[in-house]
Structure 1
Amino acid sequence: MEPQLNGEDHDESPLGVRKMHRFEHIGSMASVSQSYGPMRTRSRLLMSIYVVIFKAKINLLLPFGPLAMILHYLTQMHGWVFFFSLLGIAPLAERLGYATEQLAFYTGPTVGGLLNATFGNATEMIISIYALKNGMIRVVQQSLLGSILSNMLLVLGCAFFCGGIVHSEKDQIFNKAAAVVNSGLLLMAVMGLTFPAVLHFTHSEVQYGKSEVSLSRFSSCIMLVAYAGYLFFQLKTRHNIYSPIEEEERQIVDIQDEEDVPEITLWESISWLAVLTAWVSILSGYLVDAIQGASEAMNMPVAFISVILLPIVGNAAEHASAIMFAMKDKLDISLGVAIGSSTQISMFLIPFCVVIGWMMGQRMDLNFQLFETATLFITVLVVAFMLQEGTANYFKGLMLILCYLIVAASFFVHIDPAIND
């Protein structure tokens, strides 16, 4: 014990320095929490507000949220209400990701990663529930589909591209085993979405218009069970399977990221998550109400707005995090953010919306129509092909980004066909 203490006192190892910084930070937090004076409490509150609200430059977009609400009541300019709502939600989505990362310091990396994926998709979940309540089933389907496409092509592509540019002298490597598991889950989700669509378009249902809904509800329950099994695998088994990679990654984090200490306390993180989620919920209502009017005002198909514009805002936090970690040569984390988020949307959020719609009396199903289902199927195949070698470079990232541009252009000229029941 004595040599270790002396080593830390003399700052011989970066790990020792990192631990000292962390203990000093935790000690300062403890001293603040033990002093119950109003001055201390107010000082801590002001510091928390500064760190979460004023420190981030993206929060310059926050006033657009209240502006969208004012325009909603005073004018009929749905295009501007939609646009300002998008701008107002963007910093909230990014700050949700920040608050989750702060919470991850106290919960550990595995639970923290799960929380990051969950709250990273909180914006999509809230928007989907509001749209579902208003009976806008196609908006729900297309926005969730767009989130998957955005994460798999745009977010992952930008991460590969930026990481490849910074580390152009080599191919970056990532954990191929984890990528295979996520690819398998995504293919299972494609299967769950394909059969209701095929059943509908081949007119082979036992009860036309009803069998596809029943099949969707059954498949959704199965997908939720599969996702629960995936969570158990991640939380209980993954540490044993991927321990060499996690230990190496932990060493890199300990050596390189001495500044990575929590900036806000545990309860402040939880409180900010609640506040930000509530504000996202309020703005989402105005956003959903303005979609149809914005489509007419901007002369854009609702499909393009739902599949391309909404997910770009909802994935703001994932986009920034994935690029940042890829530039630090931590592709496993980038892959977990992008592909993990897509897996959660396809295996949890979509089936969850089907079940919630069932409880609301809405005919939400897994029939995403032929065009959307084919797009998802091809996207999963392309990404699975890119991940099979376990390496990444800027050219692979460029190809994924260009694929996303093709998808975006396709939805810009795509009009939702009339549903013939």
Structure 2
Amino acid sequence: MINAKTILSLLLIFIPISVAATFQGWGSTVIFVTSALAIIPLAGWMGTATEEIAVVLGPNLGGLMNATFGNATELIIGIVALKAGLIDVVKASITGSIIGNLLLVMGLAMFLGGLRFKEQEFPSVVARLNASAMNLAVIAILVPTAVDVTSAGIEEITMQRLSAAVAIVLIGVYILTLLFSMKTHTYLYEVGLAENEPEGAAEGEEQSEPHEVNLWLWVGVLLVATITVAVESELLVDSLEEATESLGLTALFTGVILVPIIGNAAEHATAVTVAMKNKMDLSVSVAVGSSLQIALFVAPVLVLAGWLLGQPMDLDFNPFELIAVAVAVLIANSVSSDGRSDWLEGALLLAAYAVLGLAFFFHPVVEGLA
């Protein structure tokens, strides 16, 4: 039977194909598509390697490593795009990742899980805490844009300094959330951890001994996968503008919809798979946790990286992107606040994502008409 791991392994064939397409001059569209497909399994292997290394490091260091490398693929793509000067694509990918995780991933998980199980539950306390953190993140990325819109004219360097200061605050909040979840209030997250136990354990079956982790093997896998993701990201970014133009797509739609799906595909598959096994608490943790990592860690790091690379990266977003993020956070918080889900709530999240996706697709046309 073909499973997700088999599909991811088969997609590795696109690594040599994308390299061949670059050297043989097969065109930007072919390079863009093949490099995008190559990044998907590499992100999966990075996630697997991180989890295996985390087992050896223990719950505290392991949890910290998982939190740090959880969105490494998006961070690598973002830094490569920053170096290429594609600031708008980087900003769009940040908002797109938040929207995609809250609406597409959680929506698919609740919808498909709800088709198999009439009602699924997850800790409402954790959901409310995550909702509060996401509200803070939205406010933080809204403020620089509001300052720009309400001022007579703010200098670029001033906006960068404001964004860098806000980024430092967000990273501080991210560190506090890690301290909260891994040190002072770990009991709130024990249900999600319990769901990782072998299925036979709940039925009283004899558990097999924990498998031994070859630490250096997985360190090597993580290193090779990271380097390969960086190479494929270069190919993706170099071909992005020409390829998307030939496909009739805009930088805004590409950044908000395509890039986040490419970087998060493996994680998306995990969230949906565990939801269909009636482990909705773990699924929600993956979806919402990834959004928080993007808002509180990846976005601030990219702002600071832009400062170091001499690129004008800041938190002054397209106002429509902020509206879309606020809508995503609002409906996701509304759906998850009661600690239960069903297929209709999943359908509502997917519908919201479809509406926003269509809006981003047609946004330049509407703007041009205006």
Normalised by the length of structure 1, the TM-score is 0.79
Work out the CA distance in 2 between the residues paired with 1:343 and 1:63.
Answer: 32
Work out the CA distance in 1 between the residues paired with 2:54 and 2:116.
Answer: 27
Amino acid at match of 2:98: I
1:342 alignment counterpart: 291
Q: Deviations over 1:359-414 (max 9, x none)?
A: 12211100111111111111111111111111111111111111111121111112
Q: What secondary structure, in the 3-state scheme, does the structure 2 residue paired with 1:414 have?
A: helix
Q: Deviations over 1:196-217 (max 9, x none)?
A: 1112122345x44343222211
2:310 alignment counterpart: 361
- How many residues are treated as equivalent by the alignment? 361
- Whether contact under 8 Å (1:120, 1:315) holds in the other structure is no
Work out the CA distance in 2 between the residues paired with 1:246 and 1:385.
Answer: 21
- Whether contact under 8 Å (1:102, 1:263) holds in the other structure is no
In the alignment, which of 147, 151, 162 is matched to residue 203 of structure 1?
151
What is the deviation of 1:192?
A: 1.1
| Matched-pair identity in % | 37
- Whether contact under 8 Å (1:301, 1:414) holds in the other structure is no
Point out which structure has higher relative CO (alpha carbons under 8 A, 6+ apart): 2
- Whether contact under 8 Å (1:117, 1:337) holds in the other structure is no
What is the deviation of 1:99?
A: 2.1
1:40-55 counterparts in 2 under 5 A?
A: none
Work out the CA distance in 1 between the residues paired with 2:19 and 2:198.
Answer: 46
What is the deviation of 1:333?
A: 1.2
Q: Is it true that 1:99 corresponds to 2:46 in the alignment?
A: no
Q: What secondary structure, in the 3-state scheme, does the structure 1 residue paired with 2:231 have?
A: helix
What is the deviation of 1:76?
A: 6.0
Larger Rg: 1
What is the deviation of 1:247?
A: 8.1
2:135 alignment counterpart: 187
Work out the CA distance in 1 between the residues paired with 2:211 and 2:98.
Answer: 30
What is the deviation of 1:227?
A: 0.8
Amino acid at match of 2:186: H
- Whether contact under 8 Å (1:86, 1:313) holds in the other structure is yes
Q: What secondary structure, in the 3-state scheme, does the structure 2 residue paired with 1:290 have?
A: helix
Amino acid at match of 1:209: E
Q: Deviations over 1:251-293 (max 9, x none)?
A: 7753269579547522222221111111111100010111101
CA RMSD of aligned residues (A): 2.5
- Whether contact under 8 Å (1:105, 1:262) holds in the other structure is no
1:57 alignment counterpart: 7
5+ residue gaps, structure 2, are: none
Q: What secondary structure, in the 3-state scheme, does the structure 2 residue paired with 1:56 have?
A: helix
1:22-421 counterparts in 2 under 5 A?
A: 56-75=6-25, 77-108=27-58, 112=62, 114-168=64-118, 171-204=119-152, 207-243=154-190, 245=191, 249=195, 254-255=201-202, 258=207, 261-262=210-211, 264-415=213-364
Work out the CA distance in 1 between the residues paired with 2:49 and 2:299.
Answer: 25
Q: Deviations over 1:42-65 (max 9, x none)?
A: xxxxxxxxxxxxx73322121222
Normalised by the length of structure 2, the TM-score is 0.90
Amino acid at match of 1:85: S
Amino acid at match of 1:172: Q
- Whether contact under 8 Å (1:102, 1:262) holds in the other structure is no
Work out the CA distance in 1 between the residues paired with 2:326 and 2:192.
Answer: 31
Q: What secondary structure, in the 3-state scheme, does the structure 2 residue paired with 1:329 have?
A: coil
